[in-house]
Amino acid sequence: MSDGGLSLDSPDSTPKLQQKHWLRTFEAFSVPNYRWFFGSLLCGFASMNMQMFVRGWLGFEITGSYEKLGWMTAAGGIVGLLAAPLGGVVADRVRQKKHVLQLSGIANGIITFAIAYYIVTGSLVFEHLLLASILQGITFNGMFPSKQALIKDVVGLGLLTSAIGLSNTGMNAARLLLPGLAGGMVASLGGGYGNIEPAKWVYVGMGALYVLSVLFLIKVDVPDRRPVVEHSESVTQQLAGGFQYVLDTPVIFMLLGFNFLMAFFGMTYYMLLPGFVKEVLNAGPDKLGLIISVSGIGSLIGSLIIASLPSRNRARVLLGGTLLMGIALLGFSFSSNYWLSLVLLAIVGLGSVARMSLTNVLLQTFVDSDYRGRVMSIYTLEMAVLSISIYPVSVAADIFGPQWAVGVSAACLIALVLILFNVPSYRNLD
């Protein structure tokens, strides 16, 4: 496909579909390149969600410490703080963003198979998991800006809400199915209570999914829409320019700043789940996998709702969903009943997807195209900042208990959302 012309695969040549309201949910699938892109994302999401179960479970089985879980998570976040902005510069400089995603997939596959090897040989120690967290903190955060920026190149602005909604649907479908499957597999093979050997099969599956993710991207044929130019600015200057643009653009600064706070208050529970399920809910790895999966039910439903929404009142929907998340999370912190906790986390998932999806859409709506990669890289820092800030929360969980740590975070989230409902410049964003 030439740079100057249009093809049937181009989002600009896609006919406007006169559809019923509910069919708008799937409109992005009308773009062939998005279907291949979605397949790649789905494989990556599946592997990531299996990892969210198995790495935390392995870490707590080996150490029995919330603080060690915090260290493992924080290590990936620290390197992510460096990798994400650099990834944003790369996303704004490279012509084929999919190559960044492919290199990341290959690296993640190698890391994953290495952990499987250590489990098979009986030589796995906490330090191996720590190193894997560091390396994947680099690969995940470094490629994420390219992934986010590529979505708009694939479908165009008109289908962006649908595409992001469907991408989040895929992520949450993987979250719904894979952790429960992985936990059930580990439990059925005798895993738990010190036996980590069955986790090798989870890592082999994760590695295979990374391979598929790389292969699907070969079929995505969307050239970068920016012309090839010689960049007169250094990488450092471009990094500084990206941060300066955020500081000089009030709407972007506001969206990013409050999103960081919402993510911190709303997501700390997830990092504590392996210990919370074992010590508070008195459940094993199968129940841990199930509770992670069930939390994805709400997220899946929420993603489909977001993908179907018209492009109006988006900030209000974002705040409403986040408030729902905070209330359910507060209830979860008080619960010691496994099945009640299951229902509450499903509601948490429903609310959280509004924050993630609509913050993404609003950012890409207001950001200048020349800065899109760098701004999305700063948006990506959400997970890196969260990963680092979880450490003091994990220490608090060791001292006061995980219920106290989750409850205080939920109360802070509710207070923040109520404040933002009374800030017109945020509430009225559309």
Look at residues 43, 141, 88, 172 and name the one whose alpha carbon lies nearest to residue 372. 88
**Domain coordinates in residue numbering, the chain:** 24-224+235-427
Q: Which CATH number is 24-224+235-427 given?
A: 1.20.1250.20
Q: Is 195 helix (H, G, I), strand (E, B) or coil?
A: strand
What tokens does 139 get?
């690969």
Mean pLDDT by 10 residues, the chain (430 residues): 37 44 65 85 84 82 82 80 76 76 90 93 90 88 76 75 76 71 76 77 91 90 56 67 84 87 83 83 80 73 68 80 92 91 88 80 80 75 72 82 89 93 81
Q: What is the pLDDT of residue 229?
A: 43
Q: Compute CA distances 68 → 1, 94, 197, 267, 295, whole Å.
A: 50, 38, 20, 18, 24
- At residue 196's C-alpha, the angle toward residues 297 and 284, to 5°, is 45
Cα separation of the two ends of the chain: 35
Contact (Cβ atoms closer than 8 angstroms) between residue 72 and residue 272: no
Q: What is the pLDDT of residue 234?
A: 66
Which residues does 352 contact at the CB level (< 8 Å), separation at least 6?
266, 267, 299, 302, 321, 322, 325
Q: pTM for this one? A: 0.65
Torsion over CA: 50, 217, 350, 319 (sign)? positive
Q: What is the pLDDT of residue 11?
A: 43
Q: What is the pLDDT of residue 87?
A: 76
Q: What letter does residue 198 receive in the DSSP assignment?
A: T
